[in-house]
Each structure stands twice: as structure tokens, then as C-alpha cells.
A = this chain, B = another copy of it.
Amino acid sequence: MSRTRPPGRRPGSADVTREEILAAARATFGASGFERATIRAIAGKASVDPALVHHHFGTKESLFAAAHELPDPEAMLAPIFSGPPAEMGEQLTRFYLTLVAAPGSPAVSLIRAAATNEGAARMLREFLERGFLGAAERHLEATEPRRRLALCGSHLMGVVFGRVILEVPELAEPPIEDLVAVIAPTIQRYLTGDLG
């Protein structure tokens, strides 16, 4: 049982390994946060030498950034905001809890890392500001759209935190639709209702 592969380039597949490293990075960062995740652990999970990680992605910070390249928020949110206004709260809540708050999601990894790593916090903040809040400005026909979506985001982020990170039973156990039923009216009010 030879534990280590022979050195030198591997036959066949070009950037398969690269993707495997990124997947391992997402998993490890997500499970441990930025500082606790080690390049050695990521390399191990990808069955690869630690130096290869560094060869492909440079520093640990830029590996994190590469592993968390965020999708275009415009494309994500457009379907929600183009539907009937009365359903936006429910749509947004379900979307968020299904896609973003799923355990193992890159978003959870980002949130976790953002709590202690300034770089990750900046990434998340800029994504929220330019993308999320920006999309609101373009699609939301109401006063103070950015403030409205900031309130929505804060609530939904708190639910993620309680459900996936803290694992408070009251938030972690119920199926998603149960949470949607309770939270969506609040989100709807923040989006289209009377503030304050």
C-alpha cells in the first residue's frame, strides 16, 4: 500500500485536480472556518501534496477567495423580484433557506469565516452591498429599498446562524417549509409593507 503518489505530472485530466482542491477547500473552510482550516488538511482531503495547493492558488487567502467565488446575484434574485409582489417574501425566504442555509453550502462557509477573518468579511460585505442591496435598488419598487433588504438579510442571516452554526433545536429541527411559513410574513412586510 503505497500512500504517496510518485512525483511528476499526472497522466490525462488537466484541471480535474484543481476542482478537487477547490471542493476540498470549500468543505474544510465550511467545517472549520478560515483560521482553523489548514492547507495541509485541504490537500489531504484532495489527496494531493500541500505544495500543489500553493502552486495553484498562492496564499491561503486567495485560495479562500477562489473557493468562494460568488454567483451573480442579479441572476439569482431576478426571478424572485420579477414575480408577483405579494409572493416575494415567501419566495425570498424559501430561496434563502433552501439554497443558502443548506448545511455545507459555500454561503455558510463564508459566514463562518467572516466572523473572524477580515478578508472573508469584506468579501461577504461587498457581495451583499454591490449585489444583494444593489439588486434591490433596481427591482424593488418601494421607499428605502436598501434598508429594506438589509433588514431581510439580517433576519435571514440570523436564522442561518441559529440553524446551521449554533444548531439551536427550535431552528435546526423543523423542516424548511415550517420556517418559511413563520418567517415569510416578516420578510414580506420588510419588502413591501410599512416600515416602523
Contacts and interface: CB of A to CB of B under 8 A. Distances in A.
A128 B150 CA distance: 25
A104 interface: no
Interface residues of A, number: 48
Contact of A150 (B36, B112, B116, B171): B171
A196 interface: yes
A125 B186 contact: no
Contacts of A166: 114, 121, 124-125, 128
Interface string A16-36: 000000000000000011111
Contact of A196 (B159, B170, B185): B185
Interface string A150-163: 11011111110111
Contacts of A121: 165-167
Chain A interface mostly: helix
A195 B166 CA distance: 23
Interface in A157-196: 157-159, 161-163, 165-171, 181-183, 185-186, 189-190, 195-196
A147 interface: yes
Interface of A: 32-36, 111-117, 121, 124-125, 128-129, 133, 146-147, 150-151, 153-159, 161-163, 165-171, 181-183, 185-186, 189-190, 195-196
